[in-house]
Structures are given as structure tokens and as C-alpha cells.
Amino acid sequence: MEYNDLYINGTWTKGTSGARFDVINPATEEVLASVASADIADADAALDAAEAAMKDWAARTPRQRSEVLRRAWELMTGRLEEFAHLITLENGKARADAMGEATYAAEFFRWFAEEAVRADGMITHAPSSGARIVVQHKPAGLAVLITPWNYPAAMGTRKIAPALAAGCGVIIKPASETPLTMLALMPLLEEAGVPAGLVNVLPSRKTGSLVDHMLHDPRVRVVSFTGSTGVGQKLLKGAADQVLKPAMELGGNAPVIVFDDAAMDTAIEGTMLAKMRNLGEACTAANRIYVHENIAEEFTKQLSARMSALKVGDGTDPSVDVGPLVNADTRDKVAEFVSDAVAKGAKIECGGTPPDGKGFYYPPTVLSNVPENAACVRDEIFGPVAAIQTFTDQEDVIARANDTEYGLVAYVFSEDFKRALQVCERLDYGMVGLNRGLVSDPAAPFGGVKQSGLGREGGHEGMLEFMETQYISASW
């Protein structure tokens, strides 16, 4: 791999400690690359670089910042295949999923190129005093960005693009499983015109202490994290000391509700997408599938037929639909969820047996009759297992769907729009897919409620996460 060192101040460095760690190809279990591991001194160098670069960047006009981002979108769009290949190599996901991710990742540059020039403020008369209320948005300061392994490109660009649009400098800590894609993006950003030092990438095996150190540097004002709720809670505690602006995109436990008036084709297609995009390794993945008893048998039959028709294998083969899971732990956890559900009474409709041999594969699996006490309906499965339960009563299914500490996304399938919208409004989720299995869109505010997170990425809200609101009370 060409880019496997730390990227600080626009240059590649092996880091102060010289330590390295291996990145494994999940399809072959072979070492793909040896990557430099950042230490505290490297974090300080990155913070110095970002602080210096941000002075000039924040002073540029919004249009100038916008044009750099636009160029990044153009360049990335021209290299989607290259990025998709790298994503598949380090994460395992199949080619179509990787192309989908690369496209989605590039779109954040285009969307925030458009948003960079729309940090609208406000001016109004104070109702009683007669003063003017002038409201404007300013770059918040240096941002520490921490990303997970399931979307090695998109979870990074979803943070970098709005931060740069807002005028901030950033330090990114990519997941140790998949640091290569983010590193490979850096030459592209240079070519687009991002000044040296504005974006720094620090892979590290000393994750906890490195990030904690940065969260306590007085120059840092924002921490933007995507990952598990447990780590998000730790970061929120760390962020409290300096009262940083937190953006937290955390875990999910998405319910899918299929009413008996749903269009069966739409419901099957949507459930396949919600379950199998990224082979289930997504915070938005369908985790609990509630199907009305009247249509449960037919739904289960059709879903099982679709799931068992998927081809499993090395994601670099373009005919493969489902690649390996990211590592052995993730695969073993999925297998445990299935064994636990079966031991408690669930029935395996298809799949359920991981193949022998190299690679962290788990087959697309459908479970029916999944009991409420099965672990897979309480925790994120993060794998290609569809857990089906049934319902008859609308109130009951709403209560069951809301009965979780998570609140990222829910999906509803019904052709009765009055009912469907009433149900959507009563779901305690930051996002709802109505007759759709996909909600992610750079133009929409992505994010959760309850323990699924704080703040929104994408949409108009995404850039404001990296800005502070200033109000000037003026008389003239």
C-alpha cells in the first residue's frame, strides 16, 4: 500500500515512536499493510499544523472554500473504482456496496461545497429595546474526528467536508481495522487545494490516550464521533472537561414494521436494502423485523428466497453480493446471536452455518419466530441476519419498536399513508424510512435520539455542528 504512514502538516511521517500495526484483509486473513501508529507527540504536531492552517482557511471567503470542496468531489468522482477497491480490501464489503459507499462519500464534498456559501445569519429588531439582533455563524475551532470501520470513506468525508466548509481544521483518527482509505484520500485533498496542515490523519493503536490527549488541548473545540454508544459515552465524559461541542453518531437497533396493507414487493425490496446494505454492518441496519401476522408466512418465504440467492465470497469478485465480515470477533458475535435465538425458540429459515476455510464469512440468514428475550433483538447484530417477529396490533408494535435505549432509524411499510404517517410520528427515532429501506442522504440531517447520538450530519445542520453562533446586540 502506498499510503500507510501518518499524514501531518501535508507530509507523510512514520511518527515519533516508529510503532506500526497490521491491517488485515478480511477475505483472506492476510496482512494487507503495516500502518504507522500515532503517539501523543504526533497528535501535538497535528494540532500545531491544524491551528496554523486554520488561520488562513477560516479567513478565506466561503466561495473559495466551496470551490476546493467542489474540486474534491470532482476528483473523487473520477476515482470511485480506486476507492471502492481499497474499501473492499480493508473492510471486506462487496464491490457494489463499496462503490455505493465511495459515491456517497464523494457526495459529501459536493453537498458541503454548496452549503459552504449558505451559513445564513439573521438580523432583526429586538421587540422591546429597539436594538438590532445580529446573528452570525463562525468556525468553532479545531475539530477531532473519530470514525468507525464500517464505512472507511463515508464516515470520514461526512465530517471532513462540513468542517472544512465551516472553516475548521481537523485531525482524524480512523478505525484501526480500516485506516487505509482515509490515508488514500489525502493526496486527493491536496490536489483539490486543501492547504497543508488543515486535514491530518492519525491512525493509532493507542486510541484511548491519543484521543483523550487531544480532547484536553485548549485549541480543540469540537469532537465529532461515529461509532459505538459505549465509546461515545466515554468521549462525552472526556469532552466535558473543556465543554467541547460534541457530535455523536452512535449505535442503533432499527425496527422494520411491515403492515398487512404494505405492497409486498416494496416491503421485501426495502427490507433487503435495510438489512443487507453493507452486509448488515451498519448502524442503520434492520435489526428487528416486525411483520403483521396475516402476511408473515409469505413475507418470510420471499425474504428467505432473496437472502439465500445472494452470492457470498471475496468482495473483489464483481459477481459477489456479500463479502466477509470485518474480523473474526464480528463474525463470532453474529454466530452467537443466531445460536442464542435458536436456543430460545427461533427457527432458521435459511443460512445459519458459517463456511469453513479462510475469511470471516457468515451467510445471509433468516430467523423466524424470534422471541423477545433473544439477544439479537436487544443488541445490534451487525451482520447479515434478518430476525423476524410478528404482530397483530398497531399500538403493540409501536410500543415494541420504541422499547430500546436506541433511537437512530426505523422503517415502516404501509400503503395507508394516513396510518403510516401517524405511526412514523410516534416512533422515537431521529429518522424514519417510509416505504424505503434507505434513509442516508448527504442532503438530509442524519442522526439519532436517545443513546443513538447527539447532533446531525449532512443536510443544513451538518455544517452548523462545526460553527458557533454569535449574537451581536447593536444600536445604530
Residues classed as catalytic: 249, 283
Handedness of CA 116, 56, 79, 281 (dihedral sign): negative
Which span (223-231, 263-271, 315-323, 343-351) binds ligand NAP, by CB under 6 A? 223-231
Candidate residues 251, 354, 383, 433; the one interacting with ligand NAP per rule CB under 6 A? 251
Interaction of residue 354 with ligand NAP, rule CB under 6 A: no
Q: Tell me how far, at minimum, the Cβ of 440 lies from ligand NAP, in Å.
A: 9
Interaction of residue 144 with ligand NAP, rule CB under 6 A: no
- When the beta carbons of 147 and 304 are compared against ligand NAP, the nearer one is 147
- Is-contact 375 337, C-beta < 8 A? yes
> Among residues 362, 453, 461, which one has the least CA distance to residue 407?
453
Which span (30-38, 207-215, 294-302, 462-470) binds ligand NAP, by CB under 6 A? 207-215
Interaction of residue 430 with ligand NAP, rule CB under 6 A: no
Candidate residues 30, 34, 125, 208; the one interacting with ligand NAP per rule CB under 6 A? 208
Q: Tell me how far, at minimum, the Cβ of 31 lies from ligand NAP, in Å.
A: 17
Q: Tell me how far, at minimum, the Cβ of 277 lies from ligand NAP, in Å.
A: 12
Torsion of CA 122, 128, 129, 131, to 10 degrees: 20
Q: Tell me how far, at minimum, the Cβ of 453 lies from ligand NAP, in Å.
A: 6
Interaction of residue 268 with ligand NAP, rule CB under 6 A: no
Q: Which of residues 406-425 bind ligand NAP (CB under 6 A)?
A: 408
Burial 291-309 (b: 16+ CB within 10 A, else e): bbeebbeebbebbbebbee
Interaction of residue 337 with ligand NAP, rule CB under 6 A: no
Residue type, position 164, single letter: L
Q: Tell me how far, at minimum, the Cβ of 377 lies from ligand NAP, in Å.
A: 15
Candidate residues 27, 211, 274, 377; the one interacting with ligand NAP per rule CB under 6 A? 211
Interaction of residue 207 with ligand NAP, rule CB under 6 A: yes
Whole-Å CA distances, 67 to 104, 111, 116: 19, 12, 9
Candidate residues 228, 242, 308, 402; the one interacting with ligand NAP per rule CB under 6 A? 228
- When the beta carbons of 296 and 386 are compared against ligand NAP, the nearer one is 386
- Residue 334 makes CB contacts below 8 A (sequence gap 6+) with 325, 362, 381, 382, 383, 384, 385
Interaction of residue 283 with ligand NAP, rule CB under 6 A: yes
- Is-contact 270 436, C-beta < 8 A? yes
Q: Which of residues 146-175 bind ligand NAP (CB under 6 A)?
A: 146-151, 155, 173, 175
Interaction of residue 431 with ligand NAP, rule CB under 6 A: no
Interaction of residue 323 with ligand NAP, rule CB under 6 A: no
Q: Tell me how far, at minimum, the Cβ of 284 lies from ligand NAP, in Å.
A: 7
CB < 8 Å & 24+ apart, contacts of 38-42: 38/6, 38/173, 38/202, 38/203, 38/204, 38/206, 38/210, 39/15, 39/204, 39/206, 39/210, 40/206, 40/209, 40/210, 40/213, 41/16, 42/6, 42/8, 42/13, 42/15, 42/16, 42/202
Interaction of residue 97 with ligand NAP, rule CB under 6 A: no
Q: Could you give phi then psi for residue 312, rounded to 5 degrees? A: -100, 140
Please provide the DSSP assignment of 352-380 as one string. Answer: --PPSSSS-----EEEES--TT-GGGTS-
Which cell numbers hold the place of 434? 417510509
- Give the count of residues interacting with ligand NAP (CB under 6 A): 29
Give the Cα-Cα-Cα angle 164, 210, 84 (nearest 5 degrees): 55
The footprint of ligand NAP (CB under 6 A) covers 146-151, 155, 173, 175-177, 207-208, 211, 226-228, 231, 234-235, 249-252, 283, 380, 408, 448, 453
